[in-house]
Amino acid sequence: AQSVTQLDSHVSVSEGTPVLLRCNYSSSYSPSLFWYVQHPNKGLQLLLKYTSAATLVKGINGFEAEFKKSETSFHLTKPSAHMSDAAEYFCVVRGGNKLTFGTGTQLKVEL
C-alpha cells in the first residue's frame, strides 16, 4: 500500500519569496510521485512528476521537486512566488494504476 502525507494544510508566503510545500510518502516499492495544482473552480493540472529518472524534477511555472529516498520526501519548491500561484496543491503517489492523493496544501500569496 502507498500513502502520502502533506505536512502543512496551509502555507502563506509573500510575493517574490520562496515557496516550500512539504510531502512525505510511503510506498512498498519504487514510487511514482506527482504534484498537481487546483486553482479555485478549476480542474487539476499536473505540475510535475517523478518516475525513477532524475531525482530533481522540473515542472511548469518554475516549480521543481526533489525526490529524496533516504528521507522519503518529495517537497515542492519555487524560488519566487507569484500571486497567480495561489491555489491548492496535491502530492500524489501512484501504486499500479491507482493514484493516492494527499490531503492538500492551500498556498496563499500575499503582496
Partner 1 sequence: SAVISQKPSRDICQRGTSLTIQCQVDSQVTMMFWYRQQPGQSLTLIATANQGSEATYESGFVIDKFPISRPNLTFSTLTVSNMSPEDSSIYLCSAKTGEETQYFGPGTRLLVL
- Is the CB of 67 or the CB of 90 nearer to partner 1? 90
End-to-end CA distance of the chain: 41
Per the structure block, which three cell numbers stand in for 39? 486553482
* Positions 49 through 88 that interact with partner 1 (CB under 8 A): 49, 51
Contact stretch for partner 1 (CB under 8 A) within 20-28, 41-49, 55-63, 66-74: 41-49
Q: How far apart are CA 55 and CA 82, in angstroms?
A: 25
Residue 20 makes contact with partner 1 by CB under 8 A:
no
Smallest separation (angstroms) from partner 1 to the CB of 32: 6
On whether the CB atoms of residues 27 and 88 are closer than 8 A, the answer is no
Nearest to 35 by CA among 25, 47, 51: 47
Among 31, 87, 102, 107, binds partner 1 (CB under 8 A): 102
43 contact partners, CB below 8 Å, separation of at least 6:
none
Among 1, 29, 40, 43, binds partner 1 (CB under 8 A): 43
Interface ranges with partner 1 (CB under 8 A): 32, 34, 36, 42-46, 49, 51, 90, 94, 97-99, 101-104
